[in-house]
Amino acid sequence: MQRYRMPEEGSPHQRTWMAFGAGEQVWTADLLPLAQRALADIARAIARFEPVSMLVRPAELAVARALVGPDISLYEAPLDDLWLRDCGPVFVVDESGAQAGIDFNFNGWGDKQEHTEDSLAASFVTARAGAEAVHTELVLEGGGIEVDGAGLAIITESCVLNDNRNPGWTRPEVEQELERLLGIEKIIWLPGVAGRDITDGHTDFYARFARPGVVVAGLENDPDAFDYEVTRTHQEILQEATDQHGRPLHLEIIEGPDTIRSEWVDADFAAGYINFYLCNGGVIAPQFGDAPRDTAAANTLRRLFPDREVVQLNIDAIAAGGGGIHCTTQQEPAA
């Protein structure tokens, strides 16, 4: 049986893939131009560190080019939305070092949103990258899984073991399939929270690997927030968790902002610092206008990634759509 391994995000990249896919039907006429500009800001920030390739609808090529500038490679493609982390391929390498792209059957986070075009994004990007296409019956989004590249993964049950994606699948069955596809030897299962956001509680808003053995997790301090209790439960689980060799993990906590800019106060606003993105030599992270919390988050990231430049961006328009920087990106490992 051919075996694959998903490298950790912090390993060298060939490029970052993104999608200029925000549309008025989902984002509204008022928010759409703001989301497009925020998306372009993310792309340009990453392009300082590594190549960026972006999918774009043919009708929006001129708009995209004007916003992202000349350094981003644009590819015409049909799109429903901009969340390439979830609909794009998960890149892996095989035992010979050759790349493959896994199509995890994006279904609109359990048929919550139109996804006819986005369901094709994984195969489109895999082909453009010149990688082997790998198929599975498992339904999974890239934002729902976090790996350390050495055999350990963190996954939220609320997403992967949800009947709106994988009815009838058991934990052992998921673990066996992800061992085959991603080289995972052990999964730390977090409960997550289903039905409160469109993703049903993606891992990349709760816990991330800084490197093997080191996990950074988010903590929500607003007792009225739906994930106040679940972030504390996750903290308890991760504090007691061990890696695939039985070694305890070092856990770092980044508290979410206490306030956000007043014009964005909304129940769907995704305010958290954990959804950062690692690129070659950089950490692209959000800031929300809460100066003490923004600074504390940046300082923690600088300490965790001393060899990388931390770049904080105002991505409020993206957060207003329920996502973050990591959700808009998908890394292609270096050959």
Contact 218, 161 (CB under 8 A): no
For the CA atoms of 148, 144, 5, 88, the dihedral, rounded to the nearest 10 degrees, stands at -130
Token readout for 316 is: 């409020």
Token readout for 164 is: 């709106």
For the CA atoms of 289, 290, 291, 297, the dihedral, rounded to the nearest 10 degrees, stands at -100
Contact 186, 174 (CB under 8 A): no
Neighbours of 18 (CB within 10 A): 26
155 - beta bridge partners?
145, 189
Contact 2, 95 (CB under 8 A): yes
- CA distances 1 to 4, 96, 177, Å, are 10, 13, 12
| Encoded amino acid at 214, one letter | V
Neighbours of 34 (CB within 10 A): 17
> In a 3-state reduction of DSSP, which class is residue 289?
coil
- CA distances 138 to 88, 187, 266, Å, are 15, 16, 33
List the catalytic residues.
Answer: 327
